[in-house]
Amino acid sequence: MQTAPSIPAETANHVLWHFGHGGYQPGSFTEQLIRAIAMADMENKAKLAEVYPDYAAAVIAIEYDPNGVTNLQRIARGEAVAGENPMSQCPEALFNPDTGDLRRCVAPPGGHDLHQTPDGTEWSVPVDSSTEAPF
């Protein structure tokens, strides 16, 4: 299982500002980068994450993690050390190709066989191809 990229305090502050949860305004390029990541579908979010992993992780966290704002605020205040990332560590997500929605697993960090979205939808990986995703 992979871990989420580390999010620096400056990145957390920039993303929090963009979404109206405190923080401080980034420069114009970074402001446009955050806007692009936020507007992108999941395929393009993944492409942007290859080059800007910390910004992509922070945007995805604030959009899909029910504790994303709180966790980013904690990082922004310096309450998380550089190597520590309080974001959910499970990289799995349930993607709905019809709507473009990505519902991230919010199960506690660490190994688990059953994944769960914030709304309670559960699934396992790999999804059995003989069953349909619960959309």
Question: Tens place of pLDDT for every residue, the chain, 135 residues?
Answer: 344 568 999 999 999 999 999 999 999 999 999 999 999 988 898 899 989 999 999 999 999 888 889 999 999 988 864 444 444 456 677 777 777 777 777 666 556 777 777 677 777 766 554 445 554
The amino acid that residue 11 corresponds to is T
C-alpha distance from residue 92 to each of 11, 29, 44, 103 (Å): 23, 30, 17, 9
pTM, 2 dp: 0.61
Both structure tokens of 122: 């559960």
Phi, psi for residue 45 in degrees, rounded to 5: -60, -45
Q: Where are the domains of the chain?
A: 9-76
Q: Is 103 in contact with 117 (CB distance < 8 Å)?
A: yes
Contacts of 83 (CB under 8 A, 6+ apart): 6
Looking at residue 131, its pLDDT comes to 47
Looking at residue 133, its pLDDT comes to 52
Looking at residue 12, its pLDDT comes to 95
Rg (CA), the chain: 15
Q: Would residue 128 be called left, alpha or beta, if left means φ above 0 and alpha means ψ between -120 and 50 degrees?
A: beta
